Structure 1
Amino acid sequence: MNVDVNYKSKSRTSSHISFLKTRLQVAMATEESDPSGSGGLSRQNSGVAGPWESDLTAVQHSLKFVKKLEEHYVCPTCKGVVLNPHQTGCGHIFCYRCIQGLLENSPATTPACPLDRGLIKSDEVFQDNCCKREISNLEVYCTNSPNCSHRMTLCRLQEHLQACQFESLQCSNAGCSDIMQRKDLQEHLRISCSYRMEPCHYCKHPYTCCQLEDHERHSCPEVEIKCPNKCSQMIKRCMLEDHADQCPEVQTDCVFKKYGCFVREKRAQVQVHEETALNDHILLVLGSNTKLETQMAILQQEVLLRHKELQERSRQVSGLEKEVRPLAQQVSRCDNTLSAVQRSLEEQRDHISSVQLQLEELSSVFGPGVAREELGQIRASLDALRQQVSVTEGLKDHLGELKETYMRHSRLLSIHTAQLECNEEHFRELESTSYDGKLIWKLRDYRKRKEARSQGQGPCLSSAPFHTGRSGYKMAARAYLNGDGAGRDTHLSLYVVLMRGDFDPLLPWPFRQPVSLSVLDQSGTNNHLTMSFKPDPENTSFHRPGSAAATSTAPTNVASGFQCFASHAQLETPKNAIYVRDDTLFVKVKVDTSGLEDL
């Protein structure tokens, strides 16, 4: 601020003295109007500054006034124009912040005025609104002069700076720290800022200009790049994975690898190999089929053997049932006999008590001779009763033995029944298990089961297990006829679940083979409904069942598939197919076994 003022108290002009007298009169009038004597800066609402004063604090010392600033408008402490003026008891004007600093930071309880060394008391300081109004109407130049030639009253300066084209501003783009005048800001934001957003020329997604080149060079999915396998084609980055399935330079296995051909060359060379080595491949397939036929014969023999064992166990169970039936009847009869004997024994005890009473009465009436004769008869009766009691106790012991025999036979019967059920289940699995990665599942009573599932009775149906090979993955299919999750009550839901198998330690994990699920058309037109998925290696449903990675020790993983495989209307009332015939639905599961080795 260009202010040329000498703050020597001895050289004050007469105008300054009259100015101070006016301020003193205002202060005295204010004190008289407040007889309560609350005192302090708060009594006069001190410290409340106008919005334009608060905004001008930062530029207080750089203000340029049109007319020379009078001495009494300059703060004695900060030497700048007075903002939010407060008058002391000695008549001098200070900025509110300056007088507050004097009162709070002075070591003395009553600090001295820097002009006349008079004591400044806090209860004598008040806000000078008259001076405040005069200062607000002083004319100043824009702080951006000489670039900006505008001039305005001090209270309007901040309003002007909000629109001044020469005001310095920082770029509003995130990451940009450039500072420029307001008139250049829009051009900077639109043209020269390195952090402005621009759409990618290829994928049209917005990026900052400093990132755009790196994005197009390394990550844009729509940019065409050379095939990494050096086939000379230019491929979009997002199509590289699909191109790898067709690229003639990619290393692939012969399609007859699972039959024993381990040739691995570039795709074009493998195609030539497959055409020229057809005879060798046929021999490999024949050899594999011979092994399969041998294994099938062994399995059939095993099935027949198990069937014979099942029949033998059935005969044993039938024989045990025949043996147990008369024993149960005999035990029942013994229970009845024992109950009757116990009742008879109680009656005899009562009868003996009655006889003893009668004997005592007779002894007292007839004398010892007659009593002796009666006593002999009673003794004979007692002997007979003792014999009956002995027989009853013998029957009771025999009944206990019969009960033990009955319980032993019942336990044996339960063991044989459980073994029979286990053999039947194993026999059913052997009959329906396939080892080629395919499953044809016949679902009978479609409408009845669907209705039962809609009432909440056992919603899930599971197929028999099947395998991708003799020593391959063990899997099963699951169906929710009335839908599951998002497809509940409207769709058929189909899933595939990995099960714990005997050869899991030898197989590669996680499971990666593509799987297709189909509902077969029974009209003969082959309009099957098919949906496929490729396993996600990160999904624990395709990790080894029971391993730590699968987060569970259960014998099966969480099923994966389609909640909305096909709507009920599509299944039950199709236009050009028949999916439900004779209340039966056929589901097919096919696992792509290419790339899997037979152990």
Structure 2
Amino acid sequence: MQAGYSRDVFSSGFDTKFLCNYCGNILRDPVQSYCGHRFCRACIQGLVSSGDQRVQCLQCLTEGNADEEYSFINQDQIFPDMAVKREMSSIESKCVNPGCSWKGNFKHYEAHFKECKYQASPCTQCGNLITASKLNDHMKNECPMRRVKCKHCNAEVVQQDLDTTHQNECPKYPLKCDSCGKKKITREKMQQHIDKECANQKIQCPVPNCEKHITKVDRNKFQNHVEQKPGLHIVHNLEQVTAISEKVAQIVAHLENTQSANNAGVITELRSKVQEQEQAIRTIMTTGGGGGGSGSVAGGADVGNMMQKFQALEIKTGTYEGIVTTLHREIERCITAIENMERQRQQEREQVNNDAEKIKQLEAKLHMKEVIIAEHALKISNLETTVYDGNLMWRIPEWTKKRREAVSGQCTSIYSTAFYTSRSGYKMCVRLYPNGDGMGKGTHVSIFFVIMRGNYDALLGWPFGHRVIFRMIDQGQNGNHLIDSFRPDPSSTSFKRPTSEMNIASGCPLFMPLSKLDDPSVSYVKDDVMYVNVCLDISEGRRNPALDPGTGPDRSLKSK
């Protein structure tokens, strides 16, 4: 349930009586408290259910009536204000949604507002309020939380993260090498470029006895460095090849026993090192052996042995090249399958989230419909039990529960449905105190008669003058009904024309002793149900001068 409507809904202005005394907005489903002030139904129900035992009307406090008993709001003293609701329904109103040009009577406003295409609703992705007509375009083209594809790696990411978080992580994002200035190098290949390709990167000679082992030389000058002392570098490479050959033999033996895919990376690394050493040796061999001194002579003597060992290493390496290639293909296939599964899981998660949001919206709509159905059922029930002959038979079920609540102070009184002397006659109801009120509190059942504000009060004679008869029905075979009655006091405000929803009640505080309810000779309560009959002596009292052809100032005109 919602609070009041926006004040902008009435395009041509409005009376302040249409404002809720709690939220300050235009009344939504207006009700009136016993003090005569008006509230939205949701606002006043929120007040009385706040947990405070006694809640005072804020307008009464403002007007200086804080000490009056009627300034306290009770659940059983709140009544619909149909007069104000009808008056509001004919006022010219407009839609408050930006961009909507609808205008019409206020009674059609609620129906229009529910279907207005300019009504703002929250985006399911970012939560911002967007009009219904623009929601689809917003979610596709403007929402910061929509998912888009990265133009570099084709991965789906959130729009607001595309130029920040993802840009700093995207493996395909083009970068520029700070050393050589080369552009459009993907992030995933940048480290390889720095380690293997960048000409301006300084590398260190691996030969321990070389003077460049301590200092570093530019990659584009490293070949000249090797050519200066080829023998020294050939001997070092030979030692490295021998050591690698022994490691490869050990790893191959271990791989034959375990057949573990985890060794594929080690074999690949070793094979890469062997190829690098092979390339280095061939480069040195093609450049000649001059300028190496004694190192050059020693290197020339061992070239034959080195080539024989290298050829044997090539044969062993080639044997397992096929195995390594097969393992690589299998790993790539597994990685592709995992990526596909992850994308499918992401799509399923998004679908689940969308379905959950739709379920929430449907549950909210279902709750609203249940509230409307309950209100309609209550109205239908009231219409079915309403009588128009001044004779009310009031059935009071669950008497034990109502009596217990009255004793504990939870609900001291109960109201009957409204009944009438005729279709255009006085509107009345009955108020009963199960544990008594006033002089009869705690000892008697008290019953009071209440004059309510009706639609035809202007046509009726005032003060109210019909004799009121109360009967407590004996449901046993004896028919020993308890009867009491009174005639209205013309000077009492209880029987004058109502200025609020209902007048002050008047009746019999000592209607029935509580001790008599337990008398076995009578059955005033049977199956936890009590019946009270209230009837008016229509033959006595004032008639309706506007509707009775036998009375009133126009009697002579009607006789013609």
Structure-2-length-normalised TM-score: 0.36
Structure-1-length-normalised TM-score: 0.34
Larger Rg: 1
